[in-house]
């Protein structure tokens, strides 16, 4: 049974347009060594801000419900070619309650527990994390 929820993504296109959006996502069932965490808190670290907005021109950005669209200045936009077109999840770390667990003993021991984790997509309603994490 898959779980759906909201998640924040950051996408930079080849023209230097940055889109940060809240979108519906599907979170698969945990693998044996994983847990599914219902995220309840996540700090905003400098590394999160860099992925979210970097040096984008937020003064002239377009804001709509669930979406921000802004331009990246040159040479940053062309220097970030490696992420052009990639829809990247945001949020390095967070905390929440384990709502599903894989079959391993380590994962099952965390069922229903409040945990801290570093899933790389913590700015979301749910996140998959390794139980050993």
Among the listed residues 75, 67, 65, the one whose alpha carbon sits nearest the alpha carbon of residue 11: 67
pLDDT at 77: 82
Q: What is the DSSP letter of 30?
A: P
Chain segment 5-21, per-residue pLDDT in tens = 999 999 999 999 999 99
Chain segment 110-121, per-residue pLDDT in tens = 999 999 999 999
Per the CB < 8 A criterion, the answer to whether 35 and 100 are in contact is yes
pLDDT at 11: 96
Query: Going by C-beta distance under 8 Å and a sequence separation of 6 or more, which residues neighbour residue 105?
Result: none
Spans of the chain, pLDDT less than 70: none
Pairing of strands 126-130, 17-27: unpaired
């Amino acid at each position: 049974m898959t779980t759906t929820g909201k998640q924040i993504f950051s996408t930079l296109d080849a023209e230097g347009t940055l889109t940060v959006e809240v979108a519906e996502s599907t979170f698969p069932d945990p693998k044996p060594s994983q847990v599914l965490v219902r995220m309840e808190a996540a700090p905003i670290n400098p590394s999160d801000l860099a992925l979210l907005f970097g040096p984008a021109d937020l003064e002239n950005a377009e804001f709509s419900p669930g979406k921000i669209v802004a331009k990246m200045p040159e040479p940053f936009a062309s220097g970030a070619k490696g992420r052009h077109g990639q829809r990247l999840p945001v949020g390095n770390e967070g905390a929440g309650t384990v709502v599903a667990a894989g079959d391993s003993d380590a994962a099952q021991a965390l069922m229903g527990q409040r945990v801290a984790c570093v899933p790389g997509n913590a700015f979301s309603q749910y996140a998959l994390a390794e139980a050993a994490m």
